[in-house]
Amino acid sequence: MTNEENDCVFCKIVRGEMPCHKIWEDENFLAFADANPVVEDHTLVIPKKHFSSLSDINEEICCGYIGAIKETGKILVKKCNADGFNVALNNGEAAGQVVNHVHFHIHPRKKGDGLKLSFK
């Protein structure tokens, strides 16, 4: 295990060293509630293996990742009685990535919820 993996908060969650509220998981991916949600039921989907960015993931893992995001989104739509969901990725520090372990954000959405995504 590298120092980066050893110190990574998401790797600690995967190893069971830190708690999380699991939404969904399989052998390769884990979805859990964001500790600092921007909307109710804001969820993160991560690969269980450490990758710093999306650029580091091979095609096979990428294909599985889309399936994990899709499955998590379906669960959240049903759980929240939502009308849809947004998927977001901050890839790299310049793009706003805070935890150096690739992760997609899923935001359940309801019509008229007032959430505005802004890119200024």
Q: Catalytic residue positions?
A: 103
CA distance 73 to 30: 13
One-letter amino acid of 11: C
CA distance 20 to 22: 6
Residues in CB range of 4: below 8 A, 6 or more apart: 50, 52, 100
